[in-house]
């Protein structure tokens, strides 16, 4: 993706917001994520035996041609983080072997990571980002271009967060990668969500933007933190 294209995407997305402007720009066509009445159909919270089994080879899924998305709720046993994920490909989940909530999908070539932590002091979004950079510095400093989209958000509920989308080149390759980062603070707590899209082969621009928008418009707005009562409910575990 050329710098000119990245700048065009930046001007479009910063002007009035994500999906509608991308569609009018001609960069992102025919994808309905959360604006359509039928696109936000959710299943019951997923358990190990209910994980999506729709396997496709990496690089064969065409998100830019999807006109309908169903979502499944994914909740952890150790973390209070709950995320709704699109029913596409096969999702692998883990919140036991790492301090992060992790979900990966080889078909979409996406890796999602989320973390909630306490600082035991009043913190800002920038201080939370500083902490996150210590843990995930390689991923956060990968793309060598300026962010194509940056905006404030209140996700999860009660957090003052910053959403940043960066698109750049995989080191030593002509393949574009995308990093979507949401970092927020809530008095003494920090929350971070990071999505990394690293295709195994160069993707058409429309497909790269479609998968990026799937994260920013379909996944991130649905992130929730569960209460203690919800966390001890067996039906909510996976």
- Residue pLDDT, tens place only, 83-121: 999 999 899 988 888 889 999 999 999 999 999 999 888
Predicted pLDDT at 171: 72
Predicted pLDDT at 141: 61
The model's pTM: 0.74
Query: Which residues face 114 on adjacent strands?
Result: 101, 193
Q: Higher confidence at residue 212 or residue 97?
A: 212
Rounded Cα gap, residues 229 and 231, in angstroms? 5
List the alpha helices (DSSP H) in the chain.
3-16, 18-25, 125-135, 137-140, 205-213, 228-231
Q: How many residues can be counted in the chain?
A: 238
Domains along the chain with CATH numbers: 3-49+61-236 (3.40.1000.10)
- Residue pLDDT, tens place only, 18-63: 333 333 333 333 333 343 333 333 434 443 333 444 556 655 688 9
| Angle at 114 (CA atoms; ends 112, 117), nearest 5 degrees | 165
For residue 3, what pLDDT band results from cuts at 50, 70 and 90?
very low
């Amino acid at each position: 993706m050329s710098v000119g294209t990245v700048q065009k995407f930046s001007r479009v997305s910063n002007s009035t917001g994500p999906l509608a402007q991308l569609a009018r720009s001609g960069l992102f066509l025919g994808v309905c994520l959360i604006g359509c009445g039928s696109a936000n159909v959710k299943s019951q919270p997923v358990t190990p035996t209910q994980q999506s089994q729709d396997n496709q080879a990496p690089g064969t899924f065409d998100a830019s041609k999807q006109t309908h998305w169903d979502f499944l709720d994914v909740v952890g046993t150790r973390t209070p983080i709950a995320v709704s994920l699109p029913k596409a490909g096969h999702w692998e989940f883990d919140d036991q072997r790492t301090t992060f909530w992790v979900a990966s999908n080889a078909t979409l070539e996406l890796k999602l990571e989320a973390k909630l932590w306490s600082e035991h002091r009043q913190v800002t979004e920038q201080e939370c980002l500083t902490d996150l950079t210590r843990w995930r510095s390689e991923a956060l400093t990968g793309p060598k271009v300026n962010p194509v989209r940056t905006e404030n958000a209140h996700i999860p509920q009660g957090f003052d967060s910053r959403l940043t989308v960066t698109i750049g080149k995989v080191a030593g390759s002509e393949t574009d990668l995308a990093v979507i980062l949401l970092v927020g603070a809530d008095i003494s707590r920090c929350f971070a969500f990071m999505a990394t899209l690293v295709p195994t082969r160069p993707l058409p621009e429309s497909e790269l933007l479609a998968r990026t928008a799937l994260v920013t418009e379909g996944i991130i707005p649905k992130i929730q933190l569960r209460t203690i009562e919800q966390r001890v409910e067996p039906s909510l575990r996976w």
